[in-house]
Amino acid sequence: MAARESKPFVISREVAAPRDLVWKAWTEEKRLAKWWGPKGLDVRVSKMDLRPGGLYHFCLGPDLWAKWVFREIVPPEKLVWVHSFSDEKGGVTAHSMAPTWPRETLSTLTLTERGGKTTVKLEWVPINPTDVERRTFDEGRDGMTQGWTGTFEKLEDYLRG
């Protein structure tokens, strides 16, 4: 019997900015470092290699390291990456504040423009989770909504300049 898969977590937000600018905010290291992360955590260290197989390695706050490994890049409409928590050297680690969080999640970002505004849609699902990791992900949707809402608010503040 196959293990049950998690239903993707999906969140979207319409922002008052053209898609090209929103794409740059997600894919240019210096721009991303100015707004990325949940409220209360700012990017302290950042390094990006934007290409399939490349990565964005960063540190939020004093010592919360994470990385994205890019899988698909379709400017200016789609970005797919594997998100994991890491150490300073880029190794995959458990989330320091939530050790049963999935080691890797697949993030799919799509950007759609209409009338000068852009809809930012993010889908997030664990990759090969243990039963405990899947349960943590499935039960953590309220926290994910809160975290991503704060992150999108920071993006909007950045785009307003």
Return averaged pLDDT per consecutive 10 residues of the chain, 161 residues in all: 75 98 98 95 96 97 96 98 97 94 98 97 97 96 96 97 89
Tokens coding 81: 């990456």
Nearest-5° angle of CA 50, CA 90, CA 49? 10
The pLDDT, as a whole number, for residue 127 is 97
Q: List Cβ neighbours of 132 (8 Å cut-off, separation of 6 or more).
A: 100
Residue pair 79/27 in contact (Cβ under 8 Å)? The answer is yes
Q: 56: part of which helix (H) or strand (E)?
A: strand 55-60
Instruction: Let me know if residue 89 belongs to a domain.
Output: no
**Residue 123's CATH number:** 3.30.530.20
The pLDDT, as a whole number, for residue 5 is 82
92-93 and 9-15 strand pairing: unpaired
Dihedral over Cα of 97, 99, 101, 107: its sign: positive
Strand partners, 121: 12, 110
Instruction: Let me know if residue 64 belongs to a domain.
Output: no
Residue pair 55/108 in contact (Cβ under 8 Å)? The answer is no
Give the range of the structural domain holding residue 133, as residue numbers without chain letter.
Answer: 9-43+72-84+94-160
Alpha-carbon distance of 57 to 102, in angstroms, equals 18
Instruction: Let me know if residue 110 belongs to a domain.
Output: yes
Instruction: Let me know if residue 101 belongs to a domain.
Output: yes
Instruction: Let me know if residue 3 belongs to a domain.
Output: no
Number of domains in the chain: 1
The pLDDT, as a whole number, for residue 3 is 52
Alpha-carbon distance of 98 to 78, in angstroms, equals 29
Identity of the residue numbered 61: G
Tokens coding 145: 């909504």
